[in-house]
Every structure is written in structure tokens, then in C-alpha cells.
Amino acid sequence: MKKNILKDWAELVRFPNLFTVPGDILLGMCAVSSIATLSLSSYLYVLLISLLLYAGGMILNDIMDYDEDKQARPHRVLPSKRITIDTAKLAVASFFAIALLLSYFHSQSVFVISLILVVVIYLYDGPSRKVPQLGF
């Protein structure tokens, strides 16, 4: 195992950015508090799902930018092969699958929203880049 593997994964998922997620989830839950019941357990559950989706999206972004990064930013985690592209793909699939599984067991609405988010994250990081009119 490489010496700086945790540092490499933290860089790949943009670890400092993960700290923005809890506030977003709390704000969203407060916004629907008049029509939904809030609980600490629901907050923590949805927070974990959101962190998995966010981290998966960050890794997917680097996978989609791999060829460009090999040329322009060879020091980044994937082009420098500190983490292989296949390992990164497995991580994205795992993060998204775990998030969807957790959301399925939480509630139907959280599952549907999570599923939509997975599709939107994929479209945002991938095919939409080839269609400038989409404005991503």
C-alpha cells in the first residue's frame, strides 16, 4: 500500500469541500420542515447519502477530465497514477450504489431524489460537456 494513499483519496474527493455538505442538507431540511418531520437520525442518514453522492461526483469529474488532465494537469491524482482510473471507477460505482441502497431503505422519496441526483451528476460530469447550450 502506498504511503500517502489517504492523502491521495482526500485530494481526489476534494475532502475540504465535503464540509459544505452538512449545511446544505440542514438548510434543505429546514426548508421543508413545515411539511415534513425532522429528526437527527434522518439528518444523519441523508447527510451520509449526500456525502457519498458528492464524493462520487468529484471522482467522476476527474475520470471524465482524465485525458485533458493528462496533458494540462499531469500532477493530479489520476493522471499521475497515484490512484488508477479503474480504482476510481470502482469507487464511483460503489459510492453511488451505497448511496442508492441507503436511500432505498430510508424512504421512497429519498430514493427517487437520490436516483435523479445520480443521473444528473453523470450528465453534468459527462455528456453535457459536449452540448454547450445546456449551460453546465
135 in a structural domain: no
Total count of domains within the chain: 1
- What is the residue whose three cell numbers read 437527527? 40
User: Is 136 part of a structural domain of the chain?
Assistant: no
pLDDT at 135: 60
Distance between CA atoms of residues 91 and 109, nearest Å: 25
Q: Give the model's pLDDT for residue 132.
A: 72
Cell of 79: 493522471
CATH code, 123: 1.10.357.140
**Is residue 74, in this structure, part of any structural domain at all?**
yes
Pick from 29, 70, 31: which is nearest to 49 by CA? 29
What are the cell numbers at 4? 500517502
Can you give the pTM of this predicted structure? 0.88
With a cut of 50, which residues of the chain have pLDDT below it? Answer: none
Residue range(s) defining the domain that contains residue 92: 5-129
Nearest 5 degrees, angle CA 42-CA 47-CA 49?
Answer: 100
Would you say residue 32 lies in a domain? Answer: yes
In contact, 45 and 106? CB cutoff 8 Å: yes
pLDDT for the residue 41: 85
Q: Confirm whether 54 is domain-assigned.
A: yes
